[in-house]
Amino acid sequence: MLLCLVLISSCKNEESKTVYSNSNGEVVPVEYAKGFEIKQFEGYKLLVVNDPWPKADKSFTYLLVEKGANIPTEVQYDQKVDIPVQKIVVTSTTHIPSIEILNEEQSLVGFPGLDYISSNKVRTRISKGLVTELGQNESINTEILISLDPDLVIGFAIDGNNKTFNTIQKSGIPVIYNGDWTEESPLGKAEWIKFFGAFYDKDELASLKFNEIRDSYLESIELAKDANISPTVLSGSMYKDQWYVPYGNSWQAQFIQDANANYIYKDTKGSGSIALSFESVLDKSKDAAYWVAPGQFQSFQQLLETSSHYKQFKAVHDKKVFTYSNSLGTSGGVLYYELAPTRPDLVLKDLISIFHPELLPDYQPTFFKVLQ
């Protein structure tokens, strides 16, 4: 009897060890993104999201199944999605450019906060009533969402406690976490187009489009190296008596570095932004040649009405303040928030044209424009 128990225990342990082997699939190359990985098998894919939110202590495995595929019984997963998807709900404007680049904008059936969307193609669909308003991310109307019967919902979260997503999943609609916003490098964020490509069974097209963006970005870095000077740059803005500046290892700071400029706070490290006093920033940055991303200010008048002390900055005195807040969609959505993570090459070219205008003569910026 003891021998039988040992053998049974051994068999169970063997089963747990051989639940699934990653060795048989074909890895979809991921160069810069750290938050996801994809493996292609015959008739199905396994998409693993490693960093669904900052400091996450778990990952999610999603089974993406082609029609008629036979799935081995030992495969384990958190959610199953039939591909290619036909109807999708996304919850961040940053998700929309990837869908559009893959020519799948017609699959978008619902979104929380339609006015934030800038994409002309999607706005046309909204005007025709083809994309449904779902309220706001904090309080998505789950009844309306469920009635749309999407194949999946692409969500994001700051932690694992989201009652709305739990309600949606209980209805039988898969909720897939997207962690593109946790990536720290510009190309890492952009590579999440491959995440979306997997759901539409357009992995090759997604890789092709990312390679184009990557090559454009890397070529721009090389172009910036031709500049003779590296001007000093301040970034960030005031909010409730605190000046928030990006950390030196953030994706915003990476743009400035890749544009061959000297970011004032380049030696700082952390996640998010540093909260500093106005006096501290003034002391360190008053002689910076440029100030980029000054918050929601849309004119110098508005900036100086908020605080006359801004006049003490050289960049303000020289009218070298550049903002993305004036590049808006037809309903007021800020284009930068939507498109910049997917098209970092355009952001980089904007900044090169600002810091080194001689390198890109006659360039028309996409996001950053001089504050009027």
pLDDT, tens digit, 9 for 90 and up, residues 97-134:
999 999 999 999 999 999 999 999 999 999 999 999 99
Q: Tell me which residue range forms the domain holding 304.
A: 226-370
- Decide if pLDDT at 337 tops 90: yes
**For the whole model, what pTM was predicted?**
0.90
Do residues 70 and 33 both lie within one domain?
A: yes
Segment 239-250 shows an average pLDDT of: 90
Are 229 and 266 a contacting pair, CB within 8 Å? no
Q: Are 71 and 150 part of one and the same domain?
A: yes
Question: Is residue 205 very low, low, confident or very high in pLDDT (cuts 50, 70, 90)?
Answer: very high
137 part of a folded domain: yes
Q: What are phi and psi of 126, to 5 degrees?
A: -65, -45
Q: Are residues 232 and 194 in the same domain?
A: no
Averaged pLDDT for residues 225-254: 93
**CATH number of the domain that residue 110 is part of:** 3.40.50.1980
Q: Is residue 10 part of a domain?
A: no
Is 11 domain-assigned? no
Would you place residue 309 in the very low, low, confident or very high pLDDT band (cuts 50, 70, 90)?
A: confident
- Euclidean distance between CA atoms 131 and 123, whole angstroms: 9
pLDDT exceeds cutoff 80 at 53: yes
Q: Where does a domain end: 150, 178, 213? A: 213
Residue 177 and residue 28 share a domain = yes
Same domain, 46 and 95: yes
Residues 106 and 56 in one domain: yes
The better pLDDT of the pair 201, 10 is held by 201
Determine the straight-line distance between the first and last CA of the chain, rounded to whole angstroms. Answer: 86
Q: Please give the backbone phi and psi of residue 139, each rounded to the nearest 5 degrees, phi first.
A: -145, 65
Q: Is the pLDDT of residue 295 over 90?
A: no
Number of H helices, E strands in the chain: 14, 20
Per-residue pLDDT, averaged over 44-67, amounts to: 93
Listed residues 213, 248, 281: the one ending a domain: 213
Confidence of residue 49 (pLDDT cuts 50, 70, 90): very high
For 155-180, what is each residue's pLDDT tens digit?
998 887 888 999 999 999 999 999 99
Query: Do both 191 and 259 map to the same domain?
Result: no
Mean local confidence (pLDDT), 333-337: 94
Whether the pLDDT of residue 21 is over 50: the answer is no
Predicted local distance difference test score (pLDDT) of residue 23: 52
Residues 151 and 55 in one domain: yes
The answer to whether position 7 is within a domain reads no
pLDDT given at position 20: 42
Q: What is the mean pLDDT of residues 183-209?
A: 97
Please give the pLDDT value at position 15. 31
Do 181 and 281 fall into the same domain?
no
Percent of the chain residues past pLDDT 90, beyond the cut? 82
pLDDT score of 157 = 86
Within this chain, do residues 189 and 236 fall inside the same structural domain, yes or no?
no
Q: What is the mean pLDDT of residues 180-194?
A: 95
Query: Is 52 part of any domain?
Result: yes
Mean pLDDT, the chain, rounded, equals: 91
312 phi/psi in degrees, rounded to 5: -75, -10
Which residues partner with 90 through β-bridges?
A: 154
Q: Mark whether 86 and 184 lie in a shared domain.
A: yes
- Tally of structural domains, the chain: 2
Single-letter code of the amino acid located at 327: S
Average confidence (pLDDT) over 313-327: 95
Q: Is 231 in the same domain as 201?
A: no
Give the model's pLDDT for residue 364. Answer: 96
Least confident of 131-135, 169-173, 237-241, 359-363: 237-241
